[in-house]
Structure 1
Amino acid sequence: MNRFALAAAATIAATASAQAGGLDRSGQSILALFDAPDTGAATLSWVNPSVTGSDTAAPTGATYDVGNSYSQVSLSFANEINDRVSYAVIVDQPFGADIFYNATPQTSLLGGTKADLGAEAVTVLGKYQFSDRVSAYGGVRVQRAGGEVALNGQAYAQAIGTALEGRGIGTAGPNAADLLTPNGAGFTGYDVQIDESWGAGLVIGAAYEIPEIALRLAVTYNSKVTHSGDSVERFSVAALGDGAPLAGQYSFQTPQSINIDFQTGINPKTLVLASLRWTEWGDFDVVPQNLNADLANIDDVYRWSVGVARRFSDEFVGLASVTYEKDNGSATVSPLGPTDGQIGVNLGARYDRGNLAVSGGINYTEVGDAFAGVGGNPVALFSDNSVVGVGFKVAYKF
């Protein structure tokens, strides 16, 4: 039954993370560590969000379709050194954002605002089997992250312009204003290019298993990963367009998280799976040097998943699961992630043929309504939105 249990868990991994809270994408799964020795796997998923909204106040009734589709790739290889020691190498894309407000900045509250952020990670894990039931594992995650963020539209023009004047950078004067807004021209927007940088963190966990009934409880801690490097910022001016590039420095930490993965057989052909992921987005701050304000304002996320897998034949396994994130009930959310909470359904299947296993699935998620806010003020409402994701996975035991 243990082989069946692993097959079902792998099918979930191909599709269940189609859309997650904050900037979460892959879910940072380490379940490849429990694959049969000498197994390699590759997963490709495609996600198509439909995230639409409109301005809530004058001067316009601008509408937005902000969610761009994206693809995800992950690779893994697991093997053993001896009966007690095994290892896995996992490559994934744990975090990202692809948001663009498709309206004219001068005639909308958020038009031109965008985020194009990404992260790639390589995780190397080792596992020690104390007995057939108890194991501990740990390793290092090396991660690269960077991208671009732009804050545009009338809401940001007012908020950032006011903040600059509060720091003595007004529309006229003998200081930095001469670089940003000369000749009294009004501030209209902001853009920052964040150079890619590398960081490293730790992964630590333990598992309890009863192989006879395919039971496994695995608890994994993922540490923060610190990134720092150079940035280039531009403040735009109505009469002059983009201002001169301002060199700066940045430093941020991708969030720490805890994954809890559980499975157990309830009869020889049926398996129940459940998982919980907590991600501490509340401590995720991105503060470019010249803007001196946080680009990210994201609440912590708790993501639940419950599923049932059924073996219909020696070769074929089917699976259905539900994922859920409770909304935080915030008055406003960041325009770079204008949703709050979600519930989704995953359907998947796996076909085994000799040493080859092929999995696929589809995910449909309804995302919660939210007000996108600037400076704590709601400026656009996003409602009745959804996400569709499809995943495909190939695993081979060499």
Structure 2
Amino acid sequence: MKKYKLNKGYLPGLMGLSLLISGSYFPAFSATPSVAGHAIATSSDSEPHIYNGNAPAWMAKVKRDTLEFSRMYSICTGEFLSPSFVITAAHCTTNPDDPLLVGPGRGGSQDVLNVGQDYIPATRVGKWGDIALLRLHTPMQNTTMVPLMHDFRFFHDEKATVMGYGSFDIGNSTLPYPNNPYSMLGMAEVATIMKVNLGEDPPGVTNTGISVKRGTGITRGGDSGGPLMLLSAIDTPQMGETVENKLTKQKMIGVLLGGGGDDSTFSEINPEIRKEMAIKSGVSLFNTPFDGSVINTSTYRFSGWGNSPFSVKLFTRDMKNDRWGANPEIICTRITIERQGDEWYCDVDMSRTEAVKADNGDDYLLLAATAQTTVTDEPSCTPGENKYDCVFFSYSVGKHSLSLVSPPP
């Protein structure tokens, strides 16, 4: 379908969708996408269904520890930014009398259920509109980093993926909440409608939302904080792809705030909020380049927020063989990375990189950069598998430029 770029304004008739205080707007305190009359199946299609396979290791469950039965189901969904930090919806964290617990997400059709085990107390350390950052009291093991979108160009009717751990429908009946006691991970495809203005919170920090068509069904009890995943600058959708496979090419742009009527709204993780998250958590997140950007200067500044990375590494796409080089190139080190206030940066002479020197006459190079924070781990920029922040961009050698076509290994 042809895409049309919308203005930043939004339709007055749907203004209520952008307001948390609207009487017709409700938060979704849990997570599997669904709609009455649609069964949750273990099939791989665009309809609401249980995640087919092992759920992404960056998914998290957020629970309250007030009542014993709360360990049996999720009140909200979350995403691991690192082993010690989780992103979720702020309205899930507002009751000080309800201590929060965070556990590994799992919940896929092939996952071992975790009921009451592996949960760690957590404290909210940041809030921007309805986006919250939680700090776990001890790090969670065996997690990966949620792939965050860097920059975002909104298009109407763009396909997106939503996921969560809340209640859902079985067969032709809607069971009472909570009817997903083991918090299986539900997912579905939706389509974007518009960007909405959510005001400033805290003062000076702009909050924006992305409204989507509920369509086959999202926004049920427990979905709050669940991710909105959009295609990154790394691939194009293929005919017949499962939703699970599409997820490996997508990045998270927002978390579920709530819904009303036929639509739901996700709070966008915009650059301002991404910067604040990096500062609060210390996680190294890129500022430049951003996903889909084109570098057309010889010297380029790689920059970001959070703790300075140990190194910045560059993956290069072999255009002739249509594959990624096996060994990423180190372009920034602890010696060359500098700081200015909250920002880290390093200036790179792109003409001296192995990628450019090895160019065989192509007009452009397809690249990916990762901010590696340890010495031992092998970096990866495949969304959902990486432990460090990654961006996907292109370098203009000639007069034409394109963005990435598939993720590096």
Quick check: which has more Rg, 1 or 2?
A: 1
Q: Same fold (TM over 0.5)?
A: no
Superposition TM-score, scaled by structure 2 size: 0.26
The TM-score, its normalising length taken from structure 1, stands at: 0.27
